Amino acid sequence: MQQLEVAHHFCLKRAQCLPNLTRSDMVLGLAEVTSIEALIELHKLTFLGSLCNAPTDESCHILFILRLCQFNL
């Protein structure tokens, strides 16, 4: 995850024509972008929501429920 964050910050600096020594938190603030980790978590939650809200007769929903039932909570 660390390498992905570094690459994300590098790309944001290049896109904004900022020097490489610019602080990463400043780059995120200037671009009004959240961290790549937060974006990934958001997409995970969106995907989970789509699985939970899928019609009960769809295979993706059935597989999700079957896998969920295999966990010992």
**Cβ-contact 27, 9 below 8 angstroms:** yes
Q: Which residues of the chain have pLDDT under 50?
A: none
- Cα–Cα distance, 7 to 2 (Å, whole number): 9
Q: What is the pTM of this model?
A: 0.62
Q: With beta carbons less than 8 A apart as the criterion, state whether 5 and 36 touch.
A: yes
What's 22's DSSP letter?
Answer: S
Q: Hey, where are the domains in the chain?
A: 1-33, 41-73
- Here the tokens at position 10 are 């590098």
- The two tokens of residue 62 are 């059935």
